[in-house]
Structure 1
Amino acid sequence: MSVPSHNENVNSQFGPQAHAYLASAVHAQGEDLERMASLVGRRPDAVALDLGCGGGHAAFRLAPLVGKVVACDLSEAMLAVVDGEAGRRGLDNVVTKCSAAESLPCPAASFDVAVTRYSAHHWRDVPAGLAQMHRVLKPGGLAILMDVATPGVPLLDTWLQSLELLRDPSHVRNTSPDEWRAALAAAGFSVGETARYRLRLEFASWVERMKTPPAHVAAIRSLQQRAPAEVRDYFAIEEDGSFTVDTILLAAKKR
């Protein structure tokens, strides 16, 4: 039996959960979404890209602001849900495209705005994904990256990555704010605003959304219960396993 590739693993993890991500309150709202909309502003002639769109919440927030939104994702099942929900909301300027972040089938300099939210920690090759964002943006185009971030402290980072991977085997790596700034600069972006937020993850819905196997749920709870004080305090681990993570928004322009 052949072993699936990383992209096949991502697809198999997220395709069956497409409706769960559409319904997820964690994904449907947030200060980062509102800040993204404020940074983009009203651009009726602009074309925007939502890279790794998942349930489509960034695309839906962008649609009233711009002329067209291309919602791009690796999962065709996710895209079918996004397409249906866009139609239900009357957002006829949202179109979908199936692709990995590292190999966008879009012409160079074809977008005014490119955003990605809660997707990059699944990318197999972050520098390649950022290079694609840079390639498809027009000169001076706006890029906005939003994701869960590591604190940049080895002890805390190791614990977060461990919980993430046990919950979801398609997880690759959460990245620190300093690492993101360096990666964006290396890709050819001028980094502007950086904003940090705190996001509480309710444990039961967090593992249910990904259909985490019971053995892995038990392993996560065991790790949490054995966590040292510094870890418990930073992530505000609660009795039921709920905890709080850092998220980040970085705004950058194509040089």
Structure 2
Amino acid sequence: MFRGENGKMKTQHDVNTNQYQDKSEAYLHSQVHAQGVEFAKMRELLQKNSFKKVLDLGCGGGHVSYQVAPIVEEVVAYDVTQSMVETVLKHAKQQGLNHVTGQVGCAEHLNFAPQSFDCIISRYSAHHWQNVGQAMLEMKRVLSEQGKVIIFDILGQSDPILDTFLQSIEMIRDPSHVRDYSLQEWCNFAEYAGFRIETIEKQKLELDFSSWITRMQSPDHAAETILYLQSKVSDRVRKYFDIQADGSFCSEAVYLVLGQA
């Protein structure tokens, strides 16, 4: 922890809340967050297993909730930022999804009874968590015996050259960023919590620099620093991330399905 301007000790949860408290509408309308082939995979898994109760963990703008609510009996939109949860409930109600409820909290401490959910879905959230290992243990606790966990997130790299670049630009853009985890790190987290990895799939994610920066309300000096870093990287980094003249680039995302071991 560290001290904020008022001298109060600040946690990573405080950083996350402060960073996102005024961005719920931006994430609601973000095309990157609203679209993705992973949604069809999520719905297929839910229907195949006849799952009824879903936890949207780190709900953000609520796109997981909107996508899966029509085919399940209950969705709990859960986020550390209250404005995010309020936005999800507002727009779910407008869509007639009255069985979407909300709760504010962090991933490391889920205020639910054991085996409360058939499926837990976390999309673009885990890279903000303070302690992924603890969060995974909590997910295991509140998941039913036959339940599944779906995690979709930006994928870190095992190669230090590539990983250093990715983590650097992520944190310059968004100070609440903790880490994009590599596939090996995700395997370690799953083993630590006692999950069995059932599915590993990678996806390419194209990021338009202007909207990527605007969505986070990153200051000009942050955008300039990222562009500077992009201009100085090796050809190997430039090619891997497909860095364009305007700063747009590509990342990898990973789709994981975990089952109870």
TM-score > 0.5, shorter chain as reference: yes
Which structure 1 residue ranges, 5 or more long, are not aligned? none
- Tell whether 2:144 aligns with 1:138: yes
Query: Given the superposition, is the C-alpha separation of residues 139 and 208 from structure 1 closer, same or farther in structure 2, using an over 3 Å criterion?
Result: same
Indicate the larger mover: 42-51 or 178-187: 42-51
Separation (CA, whole Å) in 2 of partners of 1:85 and 1:22: 9
- Tell whether 2:55 aligns with 1:49: yes
Which residue in 1 is equivalent to 2:42? Answer: 36
Separation (CA, whole Å) in 1 of partners of 2:56 and 2:212: 23
Which residue in 2 is equivalent to 1:199? Answer: 205
Separation (CA, whole Å) in 1 of partners of 2:63 and 2:136: 21
Q: Secondary structure at the match of 2:253?
A: strand
**Percent of residue pairs identical:** 38
Corresponding letter in the other structure for 1:192: E
Query: Given the superposition, is the C-alpha separation of residues 45 and 184 from structure 1 closer, same or farther in structure 2, using an over 3 Å criterion?
Result: closer
Shift of 1:45: 6.2
Which residue in 2 is equivalent to 1:20? Answer: 26
> Which structure 2 residues correspond to residues 209-224 of structure 1 after superposition, within 5 A?
209-224=215-230
Q: Secondary structure at the match of 1:225?
A: helix
Separation (CA, whole Å) in 2 of partners of 1:22 and 1:43: 28
Separation (CA, whole Å) in 2 of partners of 1:54 and 1:145: 14
- Tell whether 2:100 aligns with 1:94: yes
- Do the aligned partners of 2:51 and 2:118 also contact (CA within 8 Å) in 1? no
- Tell whether 2:189 aligns with 1:173: no
- Tell whether 2:82 aligns with 1:76: yes
Shift of 1:4: 2.7
Which residue in 2 is equivalent to 1:240? Answer: 246
- Do the aligned partners of 2:201 and 2:255 also contact (CA within 8 Å) in 1? yes
Which residue in 2 is equivalent to 1:119? Answer: 125
Shift of 1:152: 1.8
Separation (CA, whole Å) in 1 of partners of 2:40 and 2:198: 17
Q: Secondary structure at the match of 2:178?
A: coil
Separation (CA, whole Å) in 1 of partners of 2:84 and 2:206: 24
Shift of 1:185: 1.9
Choose the corresponding residue for 1:128, options 117, 134, 139: 134
- Tell whether 2:159 aligns with 1:153: yes
Q: Secondary structure at the match of 1:63?
A: helix
Q: What RMSD, in angstroms, separates the aligned Cα atoms of the two structures?
A: 1.2
Alignment length (residue pairs): 255
Output one character per residue of 1:62-118: Cα deviation in whole Å (capped at 9) or x when no partner. Answer: 101211001100010001110011011111111001000001111111111001000
Shift of 1:151: 2.8
Which residue in 1 is equivalent to 2:257? Answer: 251
Shift of 1:42: 5.9
Choose the corresponding residue for 1:186, options 167, 188, 192: 192
Indicate the larger mover: 237-246 or 43-52: 43-52
Separation (CA, whole Å) in 2 of partners of 1:165 and 1:235: 17
Shift of 1:41: 1.7
Query: Given the superposition, is the C-alpha separation of residues 91 and 43 from structure 1 closer, same or farther in structure 2, using an over 3 Å criterion?
Result: farther
- Do the aligned partners of 1:168 and 1:212 also contact (CA within 8 Å) in 2? yes
Q: Secondary structure at the match of 1:64?
A: helix
TM-score, normalised by the number of residues in structure 1: 0.97
Shift of 1:144: 0.5
